[in-house]
Amino acid sequence: MPWRNALVQGILMNDTTHPASAGAPPESAVPRPSPAAQDRGGILRPALAALAALTLVTGLFYPLVVTGIAQAVFPRQAAGSLIERDGKVIGSSLIGQNFSSPGYFWGRPSATGPMPYNAAASGGSNLGPSNPALADAAKARVEALHAADPDNMAPIPADLIAASGSGLDPHISPAAALYQAARVARARGLALDQVRRLVEAHTETPPSALIGDPAVNVLELNLALDGLAPAGR
């Protein structure tokens, strides 16, 4: 009947303005978790798993594999290129040593402290070209070389005057070794040609000029000298 339909429509209209319904917040006003908060849990878990996996691979497995291969293929180099005499380690072919006796070849000057060739304090002097201390140090090295061999009028190779950047360089140039040959031969009572041949025998030549220059390992050369005629260090 028409009056019943009108009554039902009125009830439905009044229900939307009911105090209980009017007091409820609209759906858009209800706080919801942000997308970032919802995704945080999903991102953190794989991130931690990736961290653990990479830590194991790069921090454990990779170093062990590389060390094992090095020990198997290059055992001497992997152990530090140590040099032994009579079962005792006397040095490494990678780290220079300080020689000051006239009967030994001298290596490059070292600016490490508190002593030359200190492997625990590798570094150069850090003196700039305008620093007078750099010129004074070079002058003192030239004077020491002239005092040890006054009759040698040959030009002094630069690597006997300038310190290396690391302070640990074990090599000198063949020219620097030959410059000292006369002094060493005289101090040991050896023929000059014999000492020169020893220098040539210990000159390391790179496979290509693009890789580096010929060099002489000072420690190995001096050990070979001791095999000819021992001298005070």
Q: What is the DSSP string of 147-213?
A: HH-TT--SPPPGGGTSPPSSS---EE-HHHHHHHHHHHHHHHT--HHHHHHHHHHTEE--SSTTT--
The pLDDT tens digits for 76-95 are 888 888 998 888 998 999 99
pLDDT at 153 over 50: yes
Residue 60 near residue 188, CB atoms below 8 Å: no
- pLDDT, residue 233, reads 45
- pLDDT, residue 72, reads 87
Over residues 61-66, mean pLDDT: 92
DSSP-H helix ranges across 57-168: 62-73, 75-78, 132-148
pLDDT over 70, % of the chain:
80
Start-to-end C-alpha separation, the chain: 128
Q: Which residues contact 126 (CB under 8 A, 6 or more apart)?
A: none
Cα separation of 226 and 160, whole Å?
22
pTM of the predicted structure, to 2 decimals: 0.72
Of 17-26, 100-109, 110-119, 156-165, the poorest mean pLDDT is in 17-26
Pairing of strands 203-204, 88-92: unpaired
